[in-house]
Structure 1
């Protein structure tokens, strides 16, 4: 195993720190585009997972702009990050290293959730909740897609 083989798992954990459902939505999109993940996870190929992940990813982007949206560091927010980062980190890890990839993604997502929250709060104070959220959405969704595309291979 090369040193950079687990980098996609760490990067998808960073994505999960800011948007908990984006890693799952990016994996669902990769599945629809017939891209194969390095790690073996049967869950990723189930149509209910694919549709649900895309729906939840879009829903999170809308819900984040609401004044009543909780901080990403509340218990349920962190739990969603742990689950999403773990599944995505395992899927993007080399075959046989799925557990290590999951642990690395979770270990990246949880502490970074506090840092990304601090950055978002600062941006909110300067430009407001909606504008800062839209900018964060664009950056995080693009990062999630880029990581998944980079880590997957196109089926022939």
Structure 2
């Protein structure tokens, strides 16, 4: 299985570029619903990890609406996106290709953080921080859920 099998990994990296914790929260929700990821990743089997991922995902969505929320391209934001993308990219990669999936996801996350920040700033100037954030949340959650559902169905 060459590059096409790694497409979900790259796409989940793009999701991480917009929302750092969404990939982990969507994966945790899929695991709670009984879904199995193609890549082997022991972290997803731990109840503490799954619960933490869901809490962090919701917390990020709420915190993003605060005026004091840092840009997604701040060093800690990029670190969180990189870690989340790598873990999720590995989980969605075909078994035995987890490392390649992680690399692709990380490679997509950082540039997409800058690209989505530019789009969000333009949207904020037109409709405000909260409204633009809610629209972005809906798009990112839908994209993350679609990528994970596609990857789990292909398994």
Coarse TM-score class (shorter-chain normalised): over 0.9
Which stretches in structure 1 are left out of the alignment for 5+ residues? none
For the residue of structure 2 that corresponds to 1:72, the secondary structure is: coil
Residue deviations 1:69-96, cap 9 Å, x none? 0000000000000000000000000011
Q: Which runs of 4+ in 1 moved over 6 A?
A: none
Which stretches in structure 2 are left out of the alignment for 5+ residues? none
Determine the structure 2 residue equivalent to 1:137: 137
Query: Number of residues paired by the alignment?
Result: 155
Cα offset for 1:153?
Answer: 4.2
Determine the structure 1 residue equivalent to 2:7: 7
Determine the structure 2 residue equivalent to 1:45: 45
Cα offset for 1:3?
Answer: 3.5
- For residues 19 and 115 of structure 1, the distance between their equivalents in structure 2, rounded to whole angstroms, comes to 12
1:81 aligns with 2:81: yes
Cα offset for 1:154?
Answer: 9.8
In the TM superposition, 1:1-156 aligns within 5 A as: 1-153=1-153
Across the aligned residues of Structure 1 and Structure 2, the Cα RMSD in angstroms comes to 1.3
Cα offset for 1:4?
Answer: 1.4
